[in-house]
Amino acid sequence: MTATSDCSTDELLKGQRVALVGRLAVMAKRDAQQLMRRHGATVIDRPDASATLIVMGENGLPLGEGGFAAALDESVRAAADRGTLEIISETELWQRLGLVDPQQNIHRDYTVPMLAKLLSVDVPTLRRWQRRGWIVPVREVRRLAYFDFQEVATARRLTELLAAGISPAEIEKELAALARYLPGVKRPLSQLSVIVEGKSLLLRQGDGLVEPGGQKRFDFGAAADAELSPGQPSIALTSDILGFDGHRALDPTMSPGELVELAGQLEDEGQLEAAAEMYRAAMAAGGPTAEICFLLAELLYQLVELPAARERYFMAIELDEDYVEARANLGCVLAEMGETELAISAFAGALVYHDAYPDAHYHLGRLLDEAGRTADATEHWEAFLRLAPNSPWADEARERLDQPGDLPR
């Protein structure tokens, strides 16, 4: 691929033949083409082997004529393999041109709780998606994952698929097929036009549909009639893995990792108590780890076993003092149990290890206000708004900071 890291922004596109594919997230395609030309590039309407740079838009990538399929035809792929053609994302283009500062991405990134609030999805579900690789953090700080706007789009698409009755197991299978059919697409759910038909994900291509394996279909509007009912089980765990009483007949050959994976499947089924037993079995088999303690603590919280969840969060921190999200979640549990001062200490401890943790600032601001320490609270509200101005909680922070004088105790 063409090296560009040492080029100035003025020289970056000079002499390049550039094709823009898909809808852009930042600006209109015509404006982007004019910008490319001002930087000395030749903009071509359709991507072909003569191109030296293809930019993939990040606001939905079509498959029809002139879209993704054309961009990655055999000649284009061969050019990329030879190193005469580079394929990059829209975000990378703006970063190279100096229009987006990579150091400012924190203002557009979301933690898991923020993402859950934004999409009305529960936090454990998002964590399972992350473990499966369905959503991928743009960065991690002391085990704390941050997700950018593209992963927000992916997560939103996943919620739509699950609401349509597609099980996690079927999504896993279909995404694997998509990866084989379109290996150049790293994030198919956010980039491609995907629709649901029964248990299958189909790609819209022109006026027709394409299966993940490449087989074409006519679109007779069957998707609306063939959806599964939302209550249909995702995988038949109860007959194959669990007894009639809902308890696991453990296979002694299963590894701790396999037991953790099974726990995640049970969570998908809504069998939370059985999932908790799997996490305990994983620790019995391989010893406790900070990660499994954290997962079990979150599950115990869902089961409203707050004292047990508190102890597991404490244990996660004992095993890994850098686990800032365990510290913050411990603070939430302590606050819910009425232990306000201990909760304040837990959030403050999280900020010792990661002072740019927006969620910790948010919760500290609320707790300090409740404790009547409004001046201290204001500092944390301001820090939160500075770090996460686009958060689902940003309006609450602005309203709090707009209030004149001290708040009532």
Domains of the chain: 17-100 (3.40.50.10190), 104-224 (1.10.1660.10), 250-402 (1.25.40.10)
Question: Does residue 43 surpass a pLDDT of 70?
Answer: yes
Average pLDDT over residues 269-284: 94
Instruction: Name which residue leads in pLDDT, 86 or 407.
Output: 86
User: Counting Cβ atoms within 10 Å, is residue 408 exposed (0-12), middle (13-18) or buried (19+)?
Assistant: exposed
Please tell me the predicted confidence (pLDDT) of residue 187.
Answer: 64
Rounded to whole angstroms, how far apart are CA atoms 319 and 312?
A: 11
Average pLDDT over residues 48-67: 67
Please tell me the predicted confidence (pLDDT) of residue 151.
Answer: 85
| DSSP letters for 161-199 | HHHTT--HHHHHHHHHHHHHH-TT-S-HHHHB-EEEETT
Instruction: Quick: pLDDT tens for 349-404.
Output: 999 999 999 999 999 999 999 999 999 999 999 999 999 888 899 999 999 999 85
Average pLDDT over residues 93-106: 61
Please tell me the predicted confidence (pLDDT) of residue 26.
Answer: 58
Residue linked to tokens 């200490």: 345
Nearest Cα neighbor of 255 from 282, 288, 228 is 282
Please tell me the predicted confidence (pLDDT) of residue 59.
Answer: 57
Average pLDDT over residues 299-319: 97
Question: Does residue 406 surpass a pLDDT of 80?
Answer: no
In sequence order, what are the residues at sequence separation of 6 or more whose Cβ sits closer than 8 angstroms to the Cβ of residue 218? 208, 209
| Residue 263 · residue 282 · CB < 8 Å | yes
Q: Give the least confident one: 102-116, 236-250, 339-353, 371-385.
A: 236-250
Query: Residue 221's pLDDT band (boundaries 50, 70, 90)?
Result: very low
Please tell me the predicted confidence (pLDDT) of residue 32.
Answer: 82
Please tell me the predicted confidence (pLDDT) of residue 35.
Answer: 84
Nearest Cα neighbor of 188 from 73, 61, 24 is 61
Instruction: Name which residue leads in pLDDT, 134 or 175.
Output: 134
Average pLDDT over residues 97-116: 69
Average pLDDT over residues 236-244: 34
Nearest Cα neighbor of 165 from 225, 216, 215 is 225
Question: Does residue 208 surpass a pLDDT of 60?
Answer: no
Query: Residue 168's pLDDT band (boundaries 50, 70, 90)?
Result: confident
Look over the chain and give the mean of its residue pLDDT values, rounded to a whole number. 78
Question: Does residue 275 surpass a pLDDT of 50?
Answer: yes
Average pLDDT over residues 146-162: 84
Query: Residue 162's pLDDT band (boundaries 50, 70, 90)?
Result: confident
Average pLDDT over residues 140-165: 86
Average pLDDT over residues 245-264: 76
**Max Cα–Cα distance, the chain, nearest Å:** 70
- Residue type, position 215, single letter: Q
Rounded to the nearest angstrom, the gap between the alpha carbon of residue 223 and the centroid of all alpha carbons in its chain is 26
Average pLDDT over residues 5-23: 73
Instruction: Quick: pLDDT tens for 325-343.
Output: 999 999 999 999 999 999 9
First to last CA, the chain: 61
Question: Does residue 42 surpass a pLDDT of 70?
Answer: yes
User: Counting Cβ atoms within 10 Å, is residue 120 exposed (0-12), middle (13-18) or buried (19+)?
Assistant: exposed
Please tell me the predicted confidence (pLDDT) of residue 65.
Answer: 41
Sheet holding 17-21, edge to edge: 42-43, 17-21, 53-56, 86-89
Query: Residue 82's pLDDT band (boundaries 50, 70, 90)?
Result: confident
| DSSP letters for 359-390 | HHHHHHHHHHHHTT-HHHHHHHHHHHHHH-TT
Please tell me the predicted confidence (pLDDT) of residue 2.
Answer: 38
Please tell me the predicted confidence (pLDDT) of residue 188.
Answer: 62
Whole-number percent of the chain with pLDDT over 90 = 41
Whole-number percent of the chain with pLDDT over 70 = 70
Please tell me the predicted confidence (pLDDT) of residue 266.
Answer: 92
Rounded to whole angstroms, how far apart are CA atoms 241 and 109?
A: 39
Query: Residue 81's pLDDT band (boundaries 50, 70, 90)?
Result: confident
Average pLDDT over residues 183-201: 57
Structure-block tokens of residue 254: 């299963």
Average pLDDT over residues 89-109: 65
Rounded to whole angstroms, how far apart are CA atoms 117 and 250?
A: 36
Average pLDDT over residues 309-321: 97
